[in-house]
Structure 1
């Protein structure tokens, strides 16, 4: 039937799905094994959520299902493009993907600890920064004792690499 014969009230709203963490075009989607496990777990949870919807109104159920399916499509694209990095093969004395880096920032005596991870794993509240972030890019290939400077709008921030580890 032509859309011209459908009442306005019957038209369903297209669900908005927030995009996943930004991964620039052409950049490899590196992940740690923990990151891949989290993506696969998220996939299982979304499938279970979709399969167990307890909505009796068919229209609402269709909208909820479409929303979950859209999230699954974005997630599955990310999973399919993921490249797991084996942290045991990284040069243990250099900052690379997966490194847990202890940093002295400026004159602060307290060390800050950050792990360089994939874009979907990044969570600053857990000390995990994306490998495409400015600080991660500056730190890549550095060794203990090296210093880098991050130029900010109002100041320059100095980071000194104090320790490098690769969690297993």
Structure 2
């Protein structure tokens, strides 16, 4: 059968496995910074990248034979990627719960948005901010609120010792400080890891 009469691929319509997932029924918590980043990405894709790619695909299509036209083939693929990402961002931005850490002053327990300094058993110290699943960056000190570490830290106070199961096995850490900042922590230096 001619390729012209077949669907290109069902995999093109599926969400990529790399997209972070929320637990079923969970609210989509995010910080104002995370919300602004997702909104900016959505606006850029919708108002800049997609129109440029549509123009490129239209130009490539007008050149004739599409089966061997690299600009057309790549352009259509990129349009599908952009549209997939726009659908994903639309779902994420549809009903977010934006929590501003600065509005949580005076809270001594760890909740969403907290910046937590912890001490490891080996004496090293690390600082993490608990953020939404789309803004998590463990290397940058931002962990998702659904991660095992963030769940273990939930409701802990300075001085508490928390045990949790990590990919490396059972770990025990001490909560040294709980703060609510607007800026995420700086990545740990090589000496702290």
Indicate the TM-score class for this superposition, using the shorter chain for normalisation. Answer: 0.7 to 0.9
Q: Is the alpha carbon distance of 1:35 and 1:148 closer, same or farther for their aligned partners in structure 2, counting shifts above 3 Å?
A: same
- Pick aligned residue for 1:13 from 8, 15, 23: 8
Query: Contact (CA 8 Å) 1:146, 1:160: kept in 2 or not?
Result: yes
CA distance, structure 1, for counterparts of residue 114 and residue 30 of structure 2: 12
- Aligned length, in residue pairs: 162
Which structure has greater helix proportion?
Answer: 2
Q: 1:150 aligns with which of 152, 164, 169?
A: 164
Cα deviation, residue 106, structure 1: 1.2
Q: Does 1:80 align with 2:94?
A: yes
One of 128, 134, 137 as aligned partner of 1:120: 134
Q: Deviations over 1:16-65 (max 9, x none)?
A: 65152111110110000000001001102212111112343335344432
Q: Is residue 149–residue 166 contact of structure 2 (8 Å, CA) maintained in 1? A: no
Tell me by how many angstroms 1:154 deviates: 6.6
Structure 1 residues 104 and 87: alpha-carbon distance in aligned structure 2, compared to 1, 3 A threshold = same
C-alpha distance in structure 1 between counterparts of 2:31 and 2:84, whole Å: 25
**Secondary structure of residue in 2 paired with 1:57:** helix
* Pair 1:38–1:152, CA change in 2 (3 A): closer
Residue 100 (str. 1) matches residue 115 (str. 2) = yes
Over aligned residue pairs, what C-alpha RMSD do you find? Answer: 2.1
**Which consecutive residues of structure 2, in runs of 5 or more, have no partner in the other structure?**
62-71, 183-193
Distance of 2:154 and 2:21 partners within structure 1: 20
Residue 89 of structure 1 deviates from its aligned partner by 3.5
Distance 2:179 2:44 in 1: 32
- Cα drift, residue 92 of structure 1: 2.6
Q: Gapped runs of 5+ residues in structure 1?
A: 1-5
- Deviation, 1:155, is 4.2
* Maintained 8 Å contact 2:102/2:180: yes
